[in-house]
A and B are shown apart, each in its own frame.
Chain A
Amino acid sequence: MSDTNYRELSLNGLWKNNPAIVQLLGLCPLLAVTGSVVNAMGMALATVAVLIASSTSVSMIRGFVSDAVRLPAFVMIIAAAVTCIELLMQAFTYELFQILGIFLPLITTNCLILGRADAFACKNKVMPAMYDGMMMGLGFGAILILLGAVRELVGTGALFANMDLLFGEEARHWKVVFFEDYNQFLVAILPPGAFIVTGLIIAMKNVIDDGIKRREALRTAGTPKESRRVRVTGNVS
């Protein structure tokens, strides 16, 4: 474990083992608060911060906690991190804190965070654990924001509404209206829309993966079939 492959860690967190669309962990916040970009972004930031903090601390104490009590210890650490984030958001983005409501404290129960603590952080050194937490958090956050953007666009015909909740006064004008006179498509904003769009995102990932695999197969197959026989002339490209 001395030479950690950071590239592999990033790839795993962001794509190959993406917590939201491959492991399907933490679906509760994923589905509940992604009605708009700003909500999704707030949730994503909070999750990333908690994940980094908890993975780092879990990795630091991994030598001192026996196997029998490790889960309670992890949950305590995660709860402490969540409390800090919650207080920070309450201080700096009070309105967003109110919108996210119960889903902020619920980050504690997000299986993604406990999962990373148990599966990775408690078996690895501090730096890799922190990096893994960050990448998993970013992968999760990216899907949150994508989901929020699609649902906001389809649901209201605009993007980036109310961004001032997160970025302060100057973000008030960031809202982009794509369709004037748009009839709100409520299903997209309501929970069914979250399920449908998540399904579509997973399907899209599968399509992309299939494409990559097919191209890979084409490349490794390399030589065309006829020339796989014993070389007789030698001009195989």
Chain B
Amino acid sequence: MAFLTVSSPHAHGPLDTATVMRLVLLSTLPGVFALSYFFGFGTIINILWASALALGMEAAVLKVRKRPVGFYLNDGSALVTAVLLGIALPPASPWWLIAVGILFAIVFAKHLYGGMGYNPFNPAMVGYVVLLISFPVQMTSWLAPAGSFDGSLLGPIDAVMRVFSLGQVDAVTMATPLDVLKQNDSLLIKDLWADSTQFGSLAGVGWEWANVGFLAGGLYLLYRRVFTWHAPVSMLVALFVMSALFYDGGSSASGGSPMFHLFSGATMLGAFFIVTDPVTSAVSNKGRIIYGACIGLLIYLIRAWGNYPDAVAFAVLLMNFAAPLLDHYTQPRTYGHKTTPRKGEGE
């Protein structure tokens, strides 16, 4: 047995890409479980179909670009993109909708910009926004959550049949809580919640638990130091502050309570799985705080006064634009130097 004598400082083995991606996939499980519990098997079928397409397209593009196919497929980044898109799409979306989304995510947003590590925009969010703009009808037909209607959820076979349009499957769709709040301006929130069955104790039935699930997964990733706390925390704080400022306590015109916003729509998924994307976010800690806060701000602005009920994808894409600028102005001070000298400043 040989003992290596290594003197300090000891290098800490950093997580490699494949490990990080596996951890991320693992951490989506609680959220996916919650979504499936409340909305049926649709999300799981979404994820499976999206993953198969993503791996296929990734392999095809890598082949065309003459890159090592096995190496890049093994890093799992395509899989993460597929899983995130599969979660974000309405459960049991039509197969072609998912295919178009994955096409834009993997081919356009990722590989046309140079592939893994070079994409300025988050691929899953590009796919989502292309779909949201192109197919508003399909993208806003969320299934109704369990307990809010009389009937049963989609089983696995029904979900497959619905995704691939193999036959008539009855499924109840319902406006999401964010949508209901957006469409109603003249009620008291108390009455609105009493009228609509899709509201739960904190936010929407199912939605609150899905958000709790993604929060749990995100906290695990934070514990494993996959990302730092700066971006997600500042995003959630900004969203909380904005909704607290503009919430008047009761009318449906004012946009819902802070808790409602934190546990509705894609808030937690965005905060811990999208905003933390190492490729498309700002790099320095200070930059990440600004980056996250601006996303939180934008999410509230678009939710409250924009045209779309949820806004995580738009907010993230807008701030992806700004990330290089943030990096430029928040370069950390080099140890031993007073400030970072910039071109054209100082001597």
Do A187 and B134 have beta carbons less than 8 Å apart? yes
Do B138 and A183 have beta carbons less than 8 Å apart? yes
A204 to chain B, nearest CB (A): 13
A186 vs B137: C-alpha distance when bound (angstroms): 12
Do A185 and B108 have beta carbons less than 8 Å apart? no
Do A183 and B135 have beta carbons less than 8 Å apart? yes
A188 vs B133: C-alpha distance when bound (angstroms): 10
Residues 113-130 of chain A, each 1 if its beta carbon lies under 8 Å from chain B, else 0: 000000000000000000
Among A183, A186, A196, A199, which residue has its beta carbon within 8 angstroms of that of B133? A186
Query: Does chain A have a CB within 8 A of B100?
Result: yes
* Least CB separation from A155: chain B residue: B134
Set of chain A residues within 8 Å of B135, measured between Cβ atoms: 183, 185-186
* Least CB separation from A189: chain B residue: B134
Among B108, B112, B134, which residue has its beta carbon within 8 angstroms of that of A186? B134
How many residues of A sit at the interface, in one of the four size bands?
A: 10 to 19
Query: Does chain B have a CB within 8 A of A184?
Result: yes
A199 vs B112: C-alpha distance when bound (angstroms): 10
Query: Does chain A have a CB within 8 A of B187?
Result: no
Do A196 and B108 have beta carbons less than 8 Å apart? yes
Task: Describe A's contact surface by its main secondary structure.
Answer: helix
Set of chain A residues within 8 Å of B134, measured between Cβ atoms: 184-188
* Least CB separation from B136: chain A residue: A186
Which of B100, B130, B134, B135 counts the most chain A CB atoms within 10 A?
A: B134
B234 to chain A, nearest CB (A): 29
Set of chain A residues within 8 Å of B112, measured between Cβ atoms: 199
* Least CB separation from B96: chain A residue: A183
Residues 97-109 of chain B, each 1 if its beta carbon lies under 8 Å from chain A, else 0: 0001000000010
Set of chain B residues within 8 Å of A192, measured between Cβ atoms: 130, 133
A34 vs B109: C-alpha distance when bound (angstroms): 23
* Least CB separation from B100: chain A residue: A185
Do A190 and B133 have beta carbons less than 8 Å apart? yes
B132 to chain A, nearest CB (A): 10
A129 to chain B, nearest CB (A): 39
Do A187 and B130 have beta carbons less than 8 Å apart? yes
Which of A184, A185, A187, A196 counts the most chain B CB atoms within 10 A?
A: A187
B173 to chain A, nearest CB (A): 17
A200 to chain B, nearest CB (A): 9
* Least CB separation from A203: chain B residue: B112
Q: Which chain B residues in 100-127 approach chain A with CB under 8 Å?
A: 100, 108, 112
Q: Which chain A residues in 154-190 approach chain B with CB under 8 Å?
A: 183-188, 190
Set of chain A residues within 8 Å of B130, measured between Cβ atoms: 187, 192
A188 vs B108: C-alpha distance when bound (angstroms): 14
Set of chain A residues within 8 Å of B133, measured between Cβ atoms: 186-187, 190, 192
Set of chain A residues within 8 Å of B108, measured between Cβ atoms: 196
B177 to chain A, nearest CB (A): 26
A187 vs B129: C-alpha distance when bound (angstroms): 10
A20 vs B190: C-alpha distance when bound (angstroms): 58
Set of chain B residues within 8 Å of A187, measured between Cβ atoms: 130, 133-134
Set of chain B residues within 8 Å of A188, measured between Cβ atoms: 134
Q: Which chain B residues in 14-32 approach chain A with CB under 8 Å?
A: none
A187 to chain B, nearest CB (A): 5
A183 vs B138: C-alpha distance when bound (angstroms): 10
B59 to chain A, nearest CB (A): 21
Set of chain B residues within 8 Å of A196, measured between Cβ atoms: 108
A13 to chain B, nearest CB (A): 29
A163 to chain B, nearest CB (A): 25
A192 vs B130: C-alpha distance when bound (angstroms): 9
A188 vs B135: C-alpha distance when bound (angstroms): 12
Q: Which chain A residues in 55-109 approach chain B with CB under 8 Å?
A: none
A224 to chain B, nearest CB (A): 25
A183 vs B100: C-alpha distance when bound (angstroms): 12
A196 vs B130: C-alpha distance when bound (angstroms): 12
* Least CB separation from A186: chain B residue: B134
A188 vs B100: C-alpha distance when bound (angstroms): 12
* Least CB separation from B97: chain A residue: A183
Q: Which chain B residues in 189-206 approach chain A with CB under 8 Å?
A: none
* Least CB separation from B108: chain A residue: A196
A187 vs B101: C-alpha distance when bound (angstroms): 12
* Least CB separation from B138: chain A residue: A183
A94 vs B38: C-alpha distance when bound (angstroms): 56
* Least CB separation from A190: chain B residue: B133
* Least CB separation from A185: chain B residue: B134
Q: Which chain B residues in 304-325 approach chain A with CB under 8 Å?
A: none
A199 vs B135: C-alpha distance when bound (angstroms): 23
A79 vs B194: C-alpha distance when bound (angstroms): 64
Set of chain B residues within 8 Å of A190, measured between Cβ atoms: 133
B195 to chain A, nearest CB (A): 32
> Which chain B residues have a beta carbon within 8 Å of chain A's beta carbons?
100, 108, 112, 130, 133-135, 138
Q: Would you list the 5 A-B pairs with minimal beta carbon distance, nearest first?
A: A186-B134, A187-B134, A185-B134, A187-B130, A187-B133
- Can you name 5 A-B pairs with beta carbons within 8 Å? A185-B134, A186-B135, A190-B133, A192-B130, A196-B108
Given contacts A185-B134, A185-B135, A188-B134, 15 further A-B contacts (CB under 8 A): A183-B135, A183-B138, A184-B134, A185-B100, A186-B133, A186-B134, A186-B135, A187-B130, A187-B133, A187-B134, A190-B133, A192-B130, A192-B133, A196-B108, A199-B112
